[in-house]
Amino acid sequence: MALHQYSKTLYKRVGVEPSGNPFNSLVQLEYENGIPRNPFINAGSIAVTDALVSFYQDEYRALEVILNFIRQISDEP
């Protein structure tokens, strides 16, 4: 969803490399100067969600769109 909105510019906020550290580790985040290595660690998922909220400029609209997307990909009504 975020890649659809931002294309490759999303990689300025979050990388795509494995970290080798636990998903909740802050060590790699500090080492990378605050840019998460990938969206599957806590800091990366927060960065991607922040990008979506920034794109929609309204946190309630962003929440609605994100929840609808999750429902759609999980076949949840």
pLDDT at 74 over 80: yes
Classify residue 61 by its DSSP letter: H
Domain-located, residue 19: no
Asked whether residue 68 is assigned to any structural domain, the reply reads yes
Task: Specify if 20 maps to a domain.
Answer: no
Q: Residues of the chain with pLDDT > 90: what percent?
A: 43
Domain tally, the chain:
1
Tell me what percent of the residues of the chain surpass a pLDDT of 70: 99
Predicted confidence band of residue 77 (pLDDT cuts 50, 70, 90)? low
Is residue 6 one of the residues assigned to a domain? Answer: yes
Tell me how far apart the alpha carbons of residues 65 and 71 are, in angstroms, rounded to a whole number.
10
Could you report the per-residue pLDDT of 34-63, keeping only the tens digit for each? 888 888 788 888 899 999 999 998 889 999
pTM for the complete prediction? 0.75
Look up the domain containing 52 and give its range.
2-11+25-73
In a domain, 18, yes or no: no
Residue among 3, 54, 12, 56 nearest 34 (CA): 12
Domain membership of residue 32 (yes or no) is yes
Angle, vertex CA 19, rays to CA 18 and CA 21, nearest 5: 135
pLDDT at 69: 92
How far apart CA 71 and CA 43 sit, in angstroms, is 23
By 3-state DSSP, what share of the chain in percent is helix, strand and coil, each rounded to 5?
Answer: 60, 0, 40
